[in-house]
Amino acid sequence: MLKKAAELIQTSNYTVAFTGAGISVESGIPPFRGPNGLWSKYNPEILDMDFFLNHPDISWKYIKEIFYDYMYNAKPNIAHYCLAKLENLGKLKGIITQNIDNLHQDAGSKNVIEFHGTTKKLECIKCKTKYDSNKISLDKLPPICPKCGGILKPDFVFFSEPIPKEAFEKSIELAQKCDLMIIIGTTGEIMPASQIPYLAKENDAKIIEINPDKSTYTNTITNIYLPLKATKACEKLQKLLI
């Protein structure tokens, strides 16, 4: 199966990767869902827009703890680097990621579409100015817009918030363009992101799936299933490809 997957990557003209929490778990970033996921320890209401607007200090206390004190210094792993190398070699045209950790860019990937936004920027809820999050002090919470005094919110998608328009449109464009989509570390539970591989399939793309456990994609649209962790699969593929 690994050889077949490598062949498919070699012979495809427009390959796109679609990644999720599973690729970053091995960089020490816990997933949101599942028995050891963040929502087993934290109340998801901290990322609810209404709750945030009413209690920005409480939301921010936990947001800082999870996304800025803890996750912020995570480093890319071999799977992130492998995708960056493939892009460099012209074998990968882009990545659609559901992750907000910037690890694809840290690994050197250029064409990365952040479907759910990023922790690396903060946006003022009043004047919409965006700031690099490392330039804003989180000593006093909630952080305040230096321009207008509005509350700053992390520039990632909260519950009940729409997907950023540009990311949404670019994702659809890539899904329709690609002739091969590599699904890595995502089981397809989060709407509407989960629909992207189906869209690729409708447009006749082949699907390689890398997930240690079967997902909603495995028996529906996947052509080649590699039941491996992201780092293991990428390490093996890289040997065959590069």
Q: How far is the CB of 132 from Zn ion (least distance, A)?
A: 15
* Per-residue tokens: 142: 């909630």
CB 21 within 8 A of CB 183: no
Q: How far apart (Å, rounded) are the C-alpha atoms in residues 228 and 192?
A: 25
Give the orientation angle of helix 230-241 with respect to helix 78-88, to 10 degrees. Answer: 30
Nearer CB in complex with Zn ion: 150/227: 150
Measured in whole angstroms, the distance separating CA 30 from the mean position of its chain's CA atoms is: 13
Q: How far apart (Å, rounded) are the C-alpha atoms in residues 13 and 16?
A: 10
Which is the catalytic residue, given 55, 80, 104, 116?
A: 116
Nearer CB in complex with Zn ion: 1/148: 148
104 is catalytic: no
Q: Where does this chain bind Zn ion (CB under 5 A)?
A: 124, 126-127, 145, 147-148, 150
Q: How far is the CB of 49 from Zn ion (least distance, A)?
A: 17
Nearer CB in complex with Zn ion: 20/117: 117
Residues contacting residue 199 through CB under 8 Å, at least 6 positions apart: 172, 175, 176
Q: How far is the CB of 106 from Zn ion (least distance, A)?
A: 28
Catalytic residues: 116
